[in-house]
Structure formats: C-alpha cells, structure tokens
Amino acid sequence: MKKHFFKLGLAGLLAMVALAGCGKKDDPEPEPVPDPPQPAQEIKYSLKPLAEMTLREKVGQLFNVRPEALLPQSSGYVTGEAKDITDFFKEYPCGGITLFAGNILNPDQTGDLTFFLHGLGNYPLLCIDEEGGRVARIAKNKNFNVPVYKSMEDVGKSTDTQQAYLAGSSIGTYLLKYSFDMDFAPVCDVNTNPNNVVIGDRAFGSDPELVAGMSSEFLKGLKSVKVEGCLKHFPGHGDTATDSHYGYAESQKTWEQLLDCEMIPFKKGIASGAQMIMIGHISLPGVTGTETPSTLSPTILGGKLRGELGYTGLIITDSMAMGAITKEYAPGEAAVLALEAGADIILDPQDYKIAFNAVMEAVASGRLTEERIDQSVTRILALKKSILRSRGLLKE
C-alpha cells in the first residue's frame, strides 16, 4: 500500500470496534473518537481556478460517474489503475467518482485505486454509499476489519442521538483511511409507509423528529473525522410504495404535509451544515401538478429546496441510471433537464459520453448558459477546497 494512506494503530482499531455497538441510554458515556492520524507522507493536490478552466473541464465537474464510465470499452468492474482511464479522462473529465462494491476487493487494492483516481486531474471527489446496515460497500466485504452495523433503524431504536454520532464518526474514520471524500449518507427518509420496498431499515425510524436528530448527529460524526455527508433522498422516499430504481415512484402528499413530516430531517440537516443533498426521483403531483421526478423539477429544486428552505449547498441527483429516469428520458436530455431544474451534479448517467456531449450542446445552443455552469462549478470547487484544506492536502 502506498505511503499516502492513513494508518490506524492497534489502539485505534480497538476503539473503532468498541464504538460499533449501539448502547442503551444508561450505558457509560463513550469516549469521543479522536482525530485520525495524519498520513506518513502528504500528497498535495492542486485545484485549477474556475477562470482558467475550459468549458469541457467545467462541464466535466458537473458529473459524478462510476469508474467503469471512464473505461467504456471494458466489461466488469474497474478495480485498478489503467492507462485507458487516464486517456479517456483527458477528453471526458469528471468532477467526482463513486465506487461500488464490485470496485472494492481488499484494503490494499482499494487504497491503490483511490490514490490513482484522485490523481486523474483537478481532484475528483471520491464518493461511496456507506450508510451502515444493508447498504455498506466496505463493511459488507469480509476482507475489511471495520465496524459493522445491523441497520440505522437499529441505531434509531436506541433513541440516543450520541449513538448516531458515533456511527458517523466510526464509519467516517475508515472511509478517511481509504481516502474517500464523501459518504452518501445519512438517510433522512422517514419510513412511514409499511408498503415501502426501498427504504425500510435504512431509515432511522418513522418519527420525523427522531430521524432529524439521528441523521443530523450522523452527519456531524462524519464531519468530525473530515468526511462530508450527503442528506438523502430529498424530498423523502419513505412514503412511497414503489422503488425508483425500477420505475415511477410518487408521493401524493401536499407541500404542507411534507413540511409536517419529510422536511423536518432535511431542515435539521441543513441547519447542521450539510454540504450536499441528494435528490430522489420521487414525483410530487400534489406539489408540482405533474408527474415529473423531483430530480428534474425546477419547482422542487429551485422553488422549494433553494427558495423556501434556503439551502445554498450542492444538489446532486440520485443515480440517473435508475428506472424512474431511464424509462422516460434519454440520458442526454435527463442531464440537461436536471441542470435546468437546479441540480449541480449529475450522478451516474446511463451513458456518460452522451450526457456530457448533450450538456456541451446545450451550452452551444444557448439552452444552458456558461454562467449557469459556473454557478455549479463554483460550489463544487469550494467543497473540494474545503475538504483538502481540512486534511492539509491542498497545494495553495
């Protein structure tokens, strides 16, 4: 393993294991998680200023892709360094990369892969779904000795928000070790629909105030060890009866009803300093009057999230390769519609080249302005700079 990785001594590993359990309220107060050790050899990264970026470089920043999207002629998962990726990245750069379970084999391989990906250019943000429970790309891999959680619902049953903080900090500690920047967690959905097939025990519970407290503390726990969290899935996937991975999903609630339930955790997370919110492909006909997924709705993104809730951070779509999008929209049109609605980052487009070229064409035609692109890129670069500075890795 290269020298840039964060090393944990035996005491650190024992502390992580001790923190993995969910204690009851009358358990002794757990000790706070210490800051992780600094790397033995720091690798400094440079960020190109917005004013020096070409339009292609700017457009690339708006995409977060799987590693496989950078190796389009290959089949299977990318698990290591490849010259073809470096060459493809020069023509189709991206601002972020998300690793899935198939990309992660063992500790040394994962560390080598993240080091390679970070060095592709302009520091791609490395992201992962590590919620704790059934969605955990590292913790469910038996080659890793890290804390394992039954579910976030189980953490929520403790009603002790300190347990959520410890879950975030312990998960964040091992994500930092492997150089991940962003965890697509916590789940802020309120699990109120017994017929829900996608959220379930991924949520902290069915009480919006409980979910708000738990998810906010999980977010703070991640932040305490220099990993950013992402609130998901706005405007709430807990009251849907279908799974947006496979097709249309909706909530019939009005905005007033959402404010009384689903919005409570998101408002708490925003107040707690959330830097990113993921938009689910949930349609809200009772709010927008259409069946348009929230991901593509200016009413939801610009009007409600930014306007009414006052959110100023990054907005990222849920995977654009999910059925709720792909069954109704071509990959290029979906990407442009999401940007028009107010999204900053397009996650996992069904076809990266097509989506990238469609955004370039939209700027050339005047459908999207370069000023609109600059707004999102400014937010993205600010987050990258903040993360690198917090870790002492920014080449000023």
Query: Distance between CA 110 and CA 124 in Å, rounded?
Result: 16
- The question of whether 233 is a catalytic residue gets the answer no
Question: What pTM does this model have?
Answer: 0.88
DSSP states along 367-393: SS-HHHHHHHHHHHHHHHHHHHHHTT-
The answer to whether 318 is a known catalytic residue is yes
Q: How far apart are CA 333 and CA 355, in angstroms?
A: 7
Active-site pick, 4, 201, 245, 374: 245
What single-letter DSSP state applies at residue 394?
B
Strand, helix or coil at 121? coil
Catalytic residue among 129, 183, 318, 348: 318
- Largest Cα–Cα distance of the chain, in whole Å? 63
Q: What is the pLDDT along the chain (396 residues), one digit of tens a residue?
A: 443 433 333 334 333 333 333 333 344 444 444 444 444 346 899 999 999 999 999 999 999 999 999 998 888 999 999 999 999 999 999 999 999 999 999 999 999 999 999 999 999 999 999 999 999 999 999 999 999 999 999 999 999 999 999 999 999 999 999 999 999 999 999 998 877 667 889 999 999 999 999 999 999 999 999 999 999 999 987 666 555 565 568 899 999 999 999 999 999 999 999 999 999 999 999 999 999 999 999 999 999 999 999 999 999 999 999 999 999 999 999 999 999 999 999 999 999 999 999 999 999 999 999 999 999 999 999 999 999 999 999 998
Q: Name the H helices within 306-369.
A: 323-326, 331-341, 352-365
DSSP-assigned beta bridge partners for residue 45: 394
- Of 349, 373, 364, the closest CA to residue 68 belongs to 349
Task: Domains for the chain: give ranges and CATH numbers.
Answer: 55-390 (3.20.20.300)
